[in-house]
Copies of this chain bind each other. A is one copy, B any other.
């Protein structure tokens, strides 16, 4: 099957889309950045993208502004109120848990709608690790993906089960970080 690539005469053989479950984990920088890079690729196909952030505050000015420039292709949602202090505070935990649960519902809705060839659940692994998203909910999310969909899950601490389920898993390891040298968060990198 041949498809036209915009104006002009260029054509390319179209492969039947087969989606993947992709996991970016590990303690190094680059997980969310790679997820952003997926958006550039998807942009090339004019895919609709749904991006749900499970940790508020982990996204900074530059990337938010950059994603805004990619609208309306990229639809972005932020879940919860940040995870500071949750381990010490039962009330806060319940609030965060409720927010995370709403995030899971939203993710399931977006995945099941079939309208987004690319769904990115940023830092979901962290939410699972903190117990804000249950392993059952994670399983429900993974099960909801259709074969043609790309589902990208980021965050350190991916569970063994998720790694088992995934098609592509990359561990980002921190070899060297600017904080080690006392350099503050950099514009365009950290914020």
Contacts and interface: CB of A to CB of B under 8 A. Distances in A.
A91 interface: no
A94 to B, nearest CB: 33
A169 B168 CA distance: 21
A176 B166 contact: yes
Oligomer copy total: 2
A24 to B, nearest CB: 6
B188 A45 contact: yes
A108 interface: no
A32 to B, nearest CB: 7
Interface residues of A, number: 66
A7 interface: no
Contacts of A187: 14-15, 17, 45
Interface string A31-50: 01111111111111101000
A189 interface: yes
A84 interface: no
A28 interface: yes
B22 A40 contact: no
A30 B19 CA distance: 17
B36 A41 contact: yes
Contacts of A86: none
A186 B42 CA distance: 12
A176 B169 contact: yes
Given A183-B20, A188-B41, A188-B117, A29 B168 contact: yes
Interface of A: 5, 12, 14-15, 17-20, 22-26, 28-30, 32-45, 47, 60-70, 117-118, 150, 163, 166-178, 181, 183-184, 186-189
